[in-house]
Structure 1
């Protein structure tokens, strides 16, 4: 709350409990919108350009340039793991983002840890004392990143039904899984887990294999040829992979494989496929396929 002006804080307080709050969306000359897990509230207050600037100053502790590389990715991660999406007028040079100016919109995504979320899934991916190569297929807002985070913790800590803890490396390309702030995870990802924050999946997987000797590598939203090629390297190195992909079915995964023009039997690498939806709430398990 200390990120906002007094007027906005008062408006937020008027709405009583903020349990389940997922996003606070701020736009110049537009009303503030609160997104909850089950509803949306439009506040009777409009943001001015001065409000946006003041909020950015507080978020960055008056040093937005210290977050220059994060801003180029379209977000800032702040203490507590909360992510602030940021946009406005983008300036490009040689087809690459140079900087952002005239910031006009912020989306503050509230970071919450859901401990125990992975318990109902762990038996599907653990067999014979090993973690199966697992692909989680899910549309947005169905809990796939939350699931990755909690599975990482369970596997790293060696929680039941595992008979031991595993060395885990998380390749957190967009700082979403561990919600790192200045390289330090803000959420519990387990005692044996190493984090590769803001690191390309294709690079991070190789770096982890070379340097941290992981038994399990966790990453989010694979889809490029480079991602698939690095997963092949992990597979050939004897490292288990747990990853997610956007989609509604296995066919979406096969389509991405075809689009990558990767001539390999990648689909045979994953011995467990979990398909999620939010039909009966976030994290609804629609189907399990084990090979």
Structure 2
């Protein structure tokens, strides 16, 4: 039979369908710009309309948006669902509405959707295994784009029976005919967001899929449906709310996706062997997803190829490193296998002196969460531990310098003791930079300047809700900036070319 599957439309064809929904003066203004890099158009009642690009915002008109302008757009797009999202038939564009207390639309975000071919080479070997795969990452990093391309590759290249559970029509576009970007995969729409779990079960019971793809697993019911699907032998590929595997473990609603957590009481002998308290947290069940991928950026991921082992290590206070994969501009993929830290601490002083795992740091009467955030932002080969007796390095407030218990621990274990003035991230960062000689070849002044600028930008983005452009930085510093910004729940995008490549902090975003 002749293949009559529709061809993927060109981006210029797709983007003009979005432009055509705008009032004519805005169309004319937008067509004079470089639409290849357009991210979204924002129309808020009483404010001038804007076109947003990576690192730049362009005002499309001086005249404020009025109710007539908003009605013009809403009349030309699809029907808004209960999630206040609509689309344009057979495109991937997304139109999101802001309503007032009476339910009237007072703002629109017209988000540009793109089908990107060849975007999953970093993960292709993983989906070919048939194992279930969970993707985590901050908003706007490209998780939905990855799902769309996975669906196409699984259906067209690997000839699997693929069903997409498309809650907001983000994966396969608006309308009853799915976008060609999903290839031969089938799509099931979800009538109401709260029924996503029911459609997930319906998909596996009624349509005999080999693979089910679902975006944004976010409720306990959806987590339960995911486990049901995986237990029936169907490959499940999905995304979930959370930036990292550690975040997911701490989420009581979604931790079942990676096996769940239970508190158990150890016997005296086992507790001594582990050098832990008698009450510890352990994984409750096998994970729903065999593999977890943390998306750091569109072209950089951290892969945990064995979810069960990674969760077990995290619950023991060990940071599993997994595989860090990065795709260069020329398409070459670099894979760095980073071993996890040893799970057990040495029992003798002789073993202790030969320890070569990550440095073990204990925050004495300080914020452990704050310390862990600083360790991640500096990308140190270090981890926090549950007690001062297990530490190589102890951080404490200077006001605790006369603490007798602290002095006894230091004398007994030989751990290094460092004091800081205040329980703040800046104080911890400065001390750890000195202790670990962070970023060789980068002067301390440059590092402090970067941190100060980034934190000021974060504060402005949070307070004013605006995009903030940062100064150009070398790649190593930009990676640190990404971690600092992501740690505050914001989106950072790279813009420009070397040596002027820089980050732009955005107050929010989606896939």
Quote the offset at 1:228 in angstroms: 1.2
Match of 1:185 in 2: 178
Match of 1:198 in 2: 190
Aligned length: 258
Are residues 1:5 and 2:15 paired?
Answer: no
Contact 2:87/2:173 (CA < 8 Å) preserved in 1?
yes
Q: Name the structure where strand makes up a greater proportion of residues.
A: 1
- Structure 1 residues 137 and 165: alpha-carbon distance in aligned structure 2, compared to 1, 3 A threshold: same
SS at match of 1:118: coil
231-240 vs 266-275, greater mean Cα deviation: 266-275
Match of 1:269 in 2: 288
Contact 1:143/1:283 (CA < 8 Å) preserved in 2?
no
- Structure 1 residues 138 and 267: alpha-carbon distance in aligned structure 2, compared to 1, 3 A threshold: farther
Quote the offset at 1:267 in angstroms: 5.8
Q: 1 CA distance for matches of 2:81 and 2:233?
A: 36
Q: 1 CA distance for matches of 2:285 and 2:213?
A: 17
Match of 1:290 in 2: 305
Contact 1:171/1:204 (CA < 8 Å) preserved in 2?
yes
Q: How does 1:20-169 map to 2 (within 5 A)?
A: 20-45=37-62, 46-59=64-77, 67=79, 70-79=80-89, 80-91=91-102, 100-101=103-104, 103-127=105-129, 131-157=130-156, 159=157, 164-169=158-163
SS at match of 1:228: helix
Aligned-residue CA RMSD in angstroms?
A: 2.1
SS at match of 1:252: helix
SS at match of 1:273: strand
Q: 2 CA distance for matches of 1:85 and 1:269?
A: 32
1:72-118 deviations in whole A, cap 9, x for unaligned?
32021112232211122355xxxxxxxx33x2111111121111111
- Higher RCO, Cα 8 Å, sep 6+: 1
Q: 2 CA distance for matches of 1:74 and 1:112?
A: 21
Are residues 1:247 and 2:242 paired?
Answer: yes
What's the TM-score, normalizing by structure 2?
0.48
1:206-230 deviations in whole A, cap 9, x for unaligned?
1011110001111111121101111
5-14 vs 239-248, greater mean Cα deviation: 5-14
SS at match of 1:277: strand
1:161-200 deviations in whole A, cap 9, x for unaligned?
xxx411111111111111131x221242121x22111353
Are residues 1:172 and 2:166 paired?
Answer: yes
Q: 2 CA distance for matches of 1:84 and 1:266?
A: 40
49-58 vs 37-46, greater mean Cα deviation: 37-46
SS at match of 1:259: coil
Q: Name the structure where helix makes up a greater proportion of residues.
A: 2
Quote the offset at 1:54 in angstroms: 2.1
What's the TM-score, normalizing by structure 1?
0.81
147-156 vs 35-44, greater mean Cα deviation: 35-44
- Structure 1 residues 225 and 118: alpha-carbon distance in aligned structure 2, compared to 1, 3 A threshold: same
Contact 2:217/2:238 (CA < 8 Å) preserved in 1?
yes
Q: 1 CA distance for matches of 2:218 and 2:81?
A: 23
Contact 1:144/1:283 (CA < 8 Å) preserved in 2?
no
Q: 2 CA distance for matches of 1:207 and 1:90?
A: 35
Match of 1:219 in 2: 214
Moved segments of 4+, more than 4 Å? 260-267
Q: 1 CA distance for matches of 2:141 and 2:285?
A: 25
SS at match of 2:100: strand
